[in-house]
Amino acid sequence: MKPSGHWAGFHIFQLSSGVSLFVQPTDRFKNVTMRLYFRTHLAEDPSGVAVLPHVLTRGTRRRETMAKISNHLDSLYGAHANADSGKIGESQLLSFRVDCVADRHLPSRSRNVRRGLEFLRELAFDPAMEGKTLRGDYVEQERHNQKRALEDLMSDRAEFAGQRCLETMCRGEAYAVHELGTLEGLDGVTAEGLTRRWREILKRSPMELYVSGRVDPGAVADACAALFDGKARSTAEVAPTVVDVPVKDVRRVTEEMDVEQGKLVMGYRTYTTFAHPGSVAMGFMNGILGGTAHSRLFVNVRERDGLAYSAGSSVDRLKGLLMVHAGIDPAKYEKCLSVIEAELESIRQGAITEEEMEATRRMLSERTRSILDSPSRAIASLYERRLAGQVRTVEESLEEIRRVRKEDVVEAARRLKLDTIYWLTARGGKG
């Protein structure tokens, strides 16, 4: 089979409607990395989708227990496999992974890569069943495990505060939903309902395969066409992520819990995704404000002024959000809030040093180059940028980083709109 296109060393094949394959032949790694992605919208049963990968990896029709799966992976010369779900923009991903040793490192006629692809398909398409439904004991056990994981996650006060800020900021938007779903949603997960959801995903969700390693792209494409093509699929469009949400008034939420350290989270709309021409400049802005060890929030707010035990920021360039987070003494809340806003205003006014620009440029360049050090990172980067409608090679991305100037960062900072301030403090306002 011949590829329909190329990008950054990946050969692109269209196996059938709604099924795409991306193959990266490289001699840099001994193993072959395989990923299979299905994408749904976060508003469509996120709790069930979050449980599903854990149920599917409990057993397949041919290998009904985890012990039998482990024995099979051992027979593939120590291959590794897992499945997971995740949140990317307002999409929820169901992903499957198999890593195995490339054929050229093994005895002749081992067909290890082909067998790895076969097992990747087996995990997704041929699980252990009870009659016509997924095994009820597996579903119940994994539903319970997921509920406990979500409860444990929410007991982390920083995680809790971040999620509560997003729920307030993105109320009415799918992004407000945690990637693990909700406790109420998990209560409603059943074997019958999860089986229907699984079949619907296989039939209607966009499906993409990625293979990276010492392989022949044409041979991989032929194998994948035989294994994954021919499925009855009527792929449905996944609703795009909502980005352009206007901010009318800043929302302020204060909640009290039994905490010693207050958690401040400030949510900004950036209106800047990967596809925006100012995307890289927004990365600089985040790095200077709070996304690096040399950032204003770390150096000034935490170290110089002693206002926070921890402080930083992160940016989501699929949803167009920037989140500032700080762990602080409740008595220092007002002072910390005003200093953070002053630091951002300083950037907006162009008070950015050359040292800040160059330190951030080095950090972003190193992070971009590191994509080449891991096939998993290369695959994740391609998938994320394809989803955003903006695909760049590493070299193109490095050139964009080299071209960013202070004026671009100022423009990015001025696009920020403060949407929500969330404050988690001690009961009675006591530290």
Residue type, 210: Y
Amino acid identity, position 77: Y
Please list the residues that pair with 236 across neighbouring strands. none
Beta strands in 113-261 (DSSP E): 129-130, 133-134, 207-213, 251-257
What pLDDT is attached to residue 236?
A: 73
Segment 47-63 shows an average pLDDT of 97
pLDDT of residue 431: 42
For 370, which DSSP code?
G
Question: Burial code of 377-411, b = ≥16 C-beta within 10 A, e = fewer?
Answer: ebbbbbbbbbbbeebbebeebbebbeebebebbbe
pLDDT: is 28 or 139 the higher one?
Answer: 139
- Domain 251-429 in CATH: superfamily? Metalloenzyme, LuxS/M16 peptidase-like (3.30.830.10)
Give me the helices (H) in 212-265, please. 217-228
Structure tokens at 221: 């494409």
Place of tokens 């949400």: 245
| Mean pLDDT value of segment 57-63 | 98
Contacts of 206 (CB under 8 A, 6+ apart): 18, 38, 39, 235, 238
For the chain, give every residue range classified as CATH 3.30.830.10: 5-228, 251-429
**Distance between CA atoms of residues 75 and 115, nearest Å:** 10
User: Among the listed ranges 70-84, 136-150, 232-246, which one has the minimum average pLDDT value?
Assistant: 232-246
Q: Is the pLDDT of residue 243 over 80?
A: yes
Least confident of 21-25, 111-115, 203-207, 317-321: 203-207
Angle at the Cα of 364 (from 210 to 158), degrees rounded to 5? Answer: 85
Helices of type H across 179-294: 183-187, 191-204, 217-228, 279-286
Please provide the average confidence, as pLDDT, over all residues in the chain: 93
CB atoms within 10 A of CB 107: 8
Question: Can you tell me the mean pLDDT for 355-383?
Answer: 94
Say what percent of the chain tops pLDDT 90: 81
The pair phi, psi for residue 309, each rounded to 5°, is: -75, -30
Please tell me the class of the 5-228 domain: alpha beta
pLDDT value at position 6? 76
According to DSSP, residue 127 is labeled B
Handedness of CA 272, 276, 278, 282 (dihedral sign): positive
CA-to-CA dists, residue 140 to 2, 124, 179, 315, 371, angstroms? 45, 19, 19, 36, 38
Backbone angles phi, psi at 99, to 5 degrees: -120, 130
* pTM for the full predicted model: 0.92
Do residues 157 and 263 touch, judged by C-beta distance below 8 A? yes
3-state SS assignment for residue 413: helix
